């Protein structure tokens, strides 16, 4: 729907590949410069530019930059008895995160952090494993089929996440075949649903994020050099070798976008885990939601947000360092 | 070779089934007469009619629409200006990089962190401005904040594709600043602006996490309402509501597909 080259790739490509046009312009001593065919005073241009920028930047500053920075300070504050904030600087929230509580050390929160990382990782890997065959299949159909199949991937991409989690909730409910079959083989007691639990969580997660992996991947696979594939085959490359040396290097841009679009939100997920995972499958997203919701412990919630930020960074950096590279 | 193709095809078709079986079964059971269970008791629209007679759902749907329309209008306006401002003026390199970072921030941060930051921001604002309660206003502000960067990115990619040749040609033909902007730049940019607005609109309708954090008691949107009712259990009314949301999604995807094709010529 939205041209993928327009809507998803700018995140990764625009910032690095853009050359600042100001560098290329010949400049006159008087502060004049040619700019898009006209001769302007630099000061005038900047004044006019500020007009364009001002509202948008102000908005992003007040509602994005300031509050995000505010989270750092909030994580150092503490909570009063009624959920009110005390702006005293303390590291208690981080200590609590690491498991040091009133009753000695317990790894509860660390387990949740590790589980978030694990769920994000497994979801991403499963989406890659399903995403390559799916997009490969679509790309090798005729143009007519391709349009329709691609359309079939786009609809779940844009379908509300609550609707999709609900659909799983329904299909795994006790009266329907999946739960009955599982009960027949004694995996679950008869008359119970297949949720909450890890199976339901991963089903929900993978189906939620598969389109987010598949669409960017498709954008890359569509541009694949198929002759290179044939050449590799002619030279007796095995399928694993073909994938590793021909397909993977050419589809890495799409794969990277897909991994970012999958891993980051998967780790922070709370809708799917809340509905399908139950309390035993709590992720950091659920914990944050609790602190800002019923728990009303905002400072601890802010500390969790920063931990999530750190996990995101760790994940992305290790991917960059060659987690998937040979 | 053949085995391999077979495996690829099987996995691909399985994936599509996997994506569609749950939603389609919800659609099928939304027109089932029976309230409980798997039994097919005949076709019926009754869950849909009960939906349309439920004043709460109508109010909630209206809220969703109002928030989406207003926030999209604001975000499109600000985002287009921001994109033009960033792209078409000679900024020092450092400043350009800082603005770039700021605009990319909502795209790479998990939504839940943005939501938490907004909650903090609104609670501080409440102390400064008495009467600033969680409501449609905060919801709209929250939506604009993430829509803004998506609009800016889409419009900027269009600006980058346009290049500067046409501007220079217009200048050579003695176009004034105003003429250049209103008769050359804006019309050429229109497809990008429309694409950005469509994206923003869909994102707003679709958003759950940020709305969940920033809504007030009387400003519930559809996804939040749906979530609250799901927690009370599975029911044919929810089937019907989900099906309607699904249909709106299909319609929007088709529409923007059409627009994209129209744009491409």
Q: Which residues are A86's β-sheet partners?
A: A78
Distance CA B102, CA A60 (A): 7
- Rounded to a whole number, what is the distance in Å from the CA of B72 to chain A's nearest CA? 14
For strands A38-41 and A32-35, give the pairing: antiparallel
CA-based nearest residue to B29, from B229, A157, B21, B233:
B21
pLDDT of residue A83: 66
Q: Identify whether residues A185 and A42 lie together within a single domain.
A: no
The verdict on a CB contact (< 8 Å) between B171 and A38 is yes
Q: Which residue of B has its CA nearest to A62?
A: B121
Q: Please check whether residue A140 lies inside any domain of the structure.
A: yes
Joined together, the tokens standing for residue B257 give: 């597909």
Omega before residue A269 within 30° of 0, cis: no
The verdict on a CB contact (< 8 Å) between B120 and A74 is yes
Q: Per residue in A161-170, pLDDT tens? A: 999 999 998 8
Q: Testing the interface with B: which of A18, A37, A317 to mutate, by most B Cβ within 10 A?
A: A37
pLDDT of residue B6: 92
Q: How far is CA A131 from CA A7, A221, A254, B13, in A?
A: 19, 11, 11, 11
**Is residue A6 pLDDT above 80, yes or no?**
no
Note down the domain range covering A50. Answer: 19-63
DSSP for B145-166, please give it: HHHHHHHHHHHHHHHHHH-SHH
The verdict on a CB contact (< 8 Å) between A302 and B116 is yes
Distance CA A134, CA A124 (A): 15
Label residue A153 by pLDDT band (50, 70, 90): very high
Report how many domains make up chain A.
2
The verdict on a CB contact (< 8 Å) between A137 and B9 is yes
Q: Which of residues A97 and A306 earns the better pLDDT score?
A: A306
**Which residue is listed with tokens 């050390």?**
A105
**Is residue A115 pLDDT above 70, yes or no?**
yes
Q: Identify whether residues A128 and A218 lie together within a single domain.
A: yes
Largest Cα span, chain A: 86
**Is residue A249 pLDDT above 50, yes or no?**
yes
Q: Identify whether residues A49 and A131 lie together within a single domain.
A: no
C-alpha radius of gyration, chain B, whole number: 23
Label residue A325 by pLDDT band (50, 70, 90): very low
Q: Testing the interface with A: which of B89, B134, B229 to mutate, by most A Cβ within 10 A?
A: B89
Q: Please check whether residue A250 lies inside any domain of the structure.
A: yes
pLDDT, average across residues A180-198: 80
Q: Identify whether residues A51 and A147 lie together within a single domain.
A: no
Q: Per residue in B142-193, pLDDT tens? A: 999 999 999 999 999 999 888 888 888 888 898 888 888 899 889 999 989 9
DSSP A66: H
How many whole angstroms from its chain centre is CA A66? 23
Label residue A27 by pLDDT band (50, 70, 90): low
Joined together, the tokens standing for residue B118 give: 């907004």
**Is residue A207 pLDDT above 90, yes or no?**
yes
- Return left, alpha or beta for A41; rule: phi > 0 is left, psi -120 to 50 is alpha, else beta: beta
Distance CA A169, CA B23 (A): 10
For chain B, the structural domain boundaries read 50-264
Distance CA A152, CA A149 (A): 5
pLDDT of residue A13: 38
Q: Which of residues B109 and B131 earns the better pLDDT score?
A: B109
Q: Please check whether residue A73 lies inside any domain of the structure.
A: no
**Is residue B263 pLDDT above 70, yes or no?**
no
The verdict on a CB contact (< 8 Å) between A160 and B19 is no
Distance CA B197, CA B145 (A): 14
The verdict on a CB contact (< 8 Å) between A168 and B22 is yes
The verdict on a CB contact (< 8 Å) between A11 and B121 is no
The verdict on a CB contact (< 8 Å) between B141 and A63 is yes
**Is residue A146 pLDDT above 70, yes or no?**
yes
DSSP A174: T
Q: Per residue in A252-279, pLDDT tens? A: 889 998 998 999 999 989 889 888 887 7
Q: Quick one: what percent of chain A has pLDDT higher than 90? A: 36
Label residue A41 by pLDDT band (50, 70, 90): confident
Q: Please check whether residue A49 lies inside any domain of the structure.
A: yes
Q: Please check whether residue A78 lies inside any domain of the structure.
A: no
- Segment of A218-222, A316-320, B34-38 carrying the highest mean pLDDT: A218-222
Cβ contacts of B190 within 8 Å, gap of 6 or more:
none
pLDDT, average across residues B200-207: 92
- Rounded to a whole number, what is the distance in Å from the CA of A21 to chain B's nearest CA? 7
The verdict on a CB contact (< 8 Å) between A63 and B172 is no
Q: Hey, is the C-beta of A126 within 8 angstroms of any chain B C-beta?
A: no
pLDDT, average across residues A197-219: 92
User: Chain A window 241-270: which residues touch B at a Cβ cutoff of 8 Å?
Assistant: 260, 264-265, 267-268, 270
The verdict on a CB contact (< 8 Å) between B90 and A42 is yes
pLDDT of residue A131: 95
- Rounded to a whole number, what is the distance in Å from the CA of A1 to chain B's nearest CA? 5
pLDDT, average across residues B124-149: 89
For strands A104-105 and A100-101, give the pairing: antiparallel
A211: domain CATH number? 1.10.3720.10
The per-residue pLDDT of chain A, averaged, comes to: 83
Q: Hey, is the C-beta of A238 within 8 angstroms of any chain B C-beta?
A: no
Q: Testing the interface with B: which of A13, A24, A170 to mutate, by most B Cβ within 10 A?
A: A170
pLDDT of residue B135: 85
Q: Chain A contacts of B105, Cβ < 8 Å?
A: 60, 64-65, 68
Q: Which residue of B has its CA nearest to A269?
A: B112
Distance CA A261, CA A100 (A): 34
The burial class, CB within 10 Å (0-12 / 13-18 / 19+), for B217 is: exposed
- Rounded to a whole number, what is the distance in Å from the CA of A101 to chain B's nearest CA? 24
Label residue A15 by pLDDT band (50, 70, 90): very low
**Is residue B131 pLDDT above 80, yes or no?**
no
Q: Identify whether residues A149 and A37 lie together within a single domain.
A: no
Given a contact cutoff of 8 angstroms between Cβ atoms, the answer to whether A108 and A126 are in contact is no
Distance CA B18, CA B21 (A): 6
| ipTM value | 0.89
DSSP for A69-86, please give it: HHHHHHTTSEE-TTS-EE
**Is residue A8 pLDDT above 50, yes or no?**
no
pLDDT, average across residues B224-241: 88
Q: Which residue of A has its CA nearest to B153?
A: A10
CA-based nearest residue to B143, from B212, B60, B246:
B212
pLDDT, average across residues A35-52: 85
- Rounded to a whole number, what is the distance in Å from the CA of B139 to chain A's nearest CA? 12
Cα within 13 Å of Cα(B255), Cβ side: 14
Distance CA B265, CA B259 (A): 10
Q: Chain A contacts of B119, Cβ < 8 Å?
A: 292, 298
Which range is least confidently modeled, A12-16, A308-312, B3-7?
A12-16
Q: Which of residues B45 and B68 earns the better pLDDT score?
A: B68
- Rounded to a whole number, what is the distance in Å from the CA of B94 to chain A's nearest CA? 10
The verdict on a CB contact (< 8 Å) between A298 and B119 is yes
Q: Please check whether residue A75 lies inside any domain of the structure.
A: no
DSSP A191: T
CA-based nearest residue to A215, from A149, A166, A312:
A149
Q: Identify whether residues A115 and A45 lie together within a single domain.
A: no
Q: Testing the interface with B: which of A3, A12, A63, A195 to mutate, by most B Cβ within 10 A?
A: A63
* Apex A112 CA angle, A270 and A128, nearest 5: 65
**Is residue A104 pLDDT above 80, yes or no?**
no
Q: Please check whether residue A24 lies inside any domain of the structure.
A: yes
pLDDT, average across residues B69-84: 96
Distance CA A60, CA A53 (A): 11
pLDDT of residue A29: 60
pLDDT, average across residues B236-263: 86
Extract the runs of DSSP E, i.e. beta strands, from chain A: 32-35, 38-41, 78-79, 85-86, 100-101, 104-105
**Is residue A124 pLDDT above 90, yes or no?**
yes
Q: Identify whether residues A48 and A113 lie together within a single domain.
A: no
Largest Cα span, chain B: 75
DSSP A2: -
The per-residue pLDDT of chain B, averaged, comes to: 89
The burial class, CB within 10 Å (0-12 / 13-18 / 19+), for A253 is: middle
- 3-state helix vs strand vs coil in chain B, percent to 5: 80, 0, 20
Domain end call among A63, A94, A119: A63
Q: Which residues are A104's β-sheet partners?
A: A101
Distance CA A317, CA A323 (A): 9
pLDDT, average across residues A110-135: 93
pLDDT of residue A91: 85
**Is residue B265 pLDDT above 70, yes or no?**
no
The verdict on a CB contact (< 8 Å) between A56 and B234 is no
Architecture field, domain B50-264: Orthogonal Bundle (1.10)
The verdict on a CB contact (< 8 Å) between A18 and B160 is yes
DSSP A20: P
Q: Which of residues B177 and A80 earns the better pLDDT score?
A: B177
**Is residue B134 pLDDT above 90, yes or no?**
no
Joined together, the tokens standing for residue A206 give: 């993978």
- A–B CB contacts, 8 A cutoff, strictly below: 308
Q: Please check whether residue A5 lies inside any domain of the structure.
A: no
Q: Quick one: what percent of chain A has pLDDT higher than 70? A: 89
CB crowding A77-116: b at 16 or more within 10 Å, else e: bebeeeeeeeeeeeebbbebbeeeeeeeeeeebeebbebb
């Amino acid at each position: 729907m939205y041209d993928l080259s327009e809507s998803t790739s700018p995140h990764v490509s625009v910032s690095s590949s853009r050359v600042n046009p100001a560098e290329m312009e010949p400049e006159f001593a008087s502060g004049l410069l040619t700019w898009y065919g006209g001769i302007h005073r630099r000061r005038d241009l900047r004044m006019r530019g500020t007009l364009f920028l001002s509202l948008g930047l102000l908005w992003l500053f007040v509602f994005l930059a300031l509050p995000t920075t505010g989270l750092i300070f909030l994580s150092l504050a503490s909570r009063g008895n009624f959920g009110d904030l005390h702006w005293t600087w303390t590291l208690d929230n981080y200590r609590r995160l690491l498991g040091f509580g009133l009753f000695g050390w317990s790894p509860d929160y660390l387990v949740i952090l590790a589980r978030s990382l694990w769920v994000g990782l497994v979801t991403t890997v499963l989406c890659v494993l399903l995403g390559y065959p799916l997009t490969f299949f679509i790309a090798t159909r005729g143009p007519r089929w391709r349009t329709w199949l691609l359309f079939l991937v786009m609809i779940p991409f844009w379908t509300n996440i609550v609707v999709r989690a609900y659909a799983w909730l329904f299909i795994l409910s006790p009266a329907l075949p999946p739960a009955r079959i599982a009960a027949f083989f004694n995996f679950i007691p008869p008359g119970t649903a297949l949720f909450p639990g890890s199976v339901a969580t991963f089903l929900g997660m993978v189906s939620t994020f598969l389109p987010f992996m598949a669409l960017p991947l498709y954008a890359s696979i569509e541009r694949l050099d198929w002759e290179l594939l044939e050449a590799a085959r002619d030279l007796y490359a095995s399928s694993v070798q073909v994938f590793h040396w021909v397909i993977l290097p050419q589809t890495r841009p799409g794969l990277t976008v897909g991994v970012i679009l999958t891993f980051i939100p998967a780790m922070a997920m709370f809708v799917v885990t809340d509905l399908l995972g139950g309390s035993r499958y709590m992720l950091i997203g659920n914990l944050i939601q609790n602190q800002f919701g019923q728990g009303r412990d905002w400072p601890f919630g802010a500390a969790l947000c920063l931990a999530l930020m750190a996990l995101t960074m760790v994940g992305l950096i290790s991917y960059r360092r060659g987690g998937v590279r040979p | 070779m053949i085995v391999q193709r077979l495996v690829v095809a099987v996995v691909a078709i399985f994936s599509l089934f996997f994506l569609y079986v749950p939603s389609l079964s919800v659609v099928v059971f939304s027109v089932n007469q029976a309230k409980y269970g798997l039994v097919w008791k005949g076709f019926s629209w009754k869950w849909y009619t009960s939906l349309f007679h439920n004043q709460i759902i109508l109010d909630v749907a209206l809220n969703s629409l109002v928030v989406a329309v207003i926030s999209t209008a604001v975000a499109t306006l600000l985002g287009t200006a921001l994109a033009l401002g960033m792209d078409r003026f000679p900024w020092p390199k450092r400043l350009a990089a800082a603005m770039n970072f700021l605009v990319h921030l909502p795209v790479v941060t998990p939504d839940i962190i943005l939501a938490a930051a907004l909650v903090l921001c609104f609670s501080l604002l409440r102390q400064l401005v008495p009467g600033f309660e969680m409501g449609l206003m905060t919801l709209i502000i929250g939506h604009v904040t993430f829509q803004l960067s998506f609009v800016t990115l889409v419009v900027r990619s269009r600006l980058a594709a346009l290049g500067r040749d046409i501007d220079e040609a217009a200048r050579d033909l003695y176009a004034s600043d105003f003429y250049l902007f209103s008769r050359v730049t804006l019309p050429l940019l229109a497809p990008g602006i429309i694409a950005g607005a469509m994206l923003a609109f869909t994102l707003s309708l679709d958003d759950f996490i940020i709305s969940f954090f920033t809504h007030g008691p009387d400003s519930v949107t559809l996804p939040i309402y749906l979530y609250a009712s799901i927690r009370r259990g599975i029911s044919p009314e929810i089937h019907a509501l989900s099906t309607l949301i699904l249909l709106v999604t299909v319609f929007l995807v088709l529409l923007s597909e059409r627009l994209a094709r129209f744009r491409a010529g």
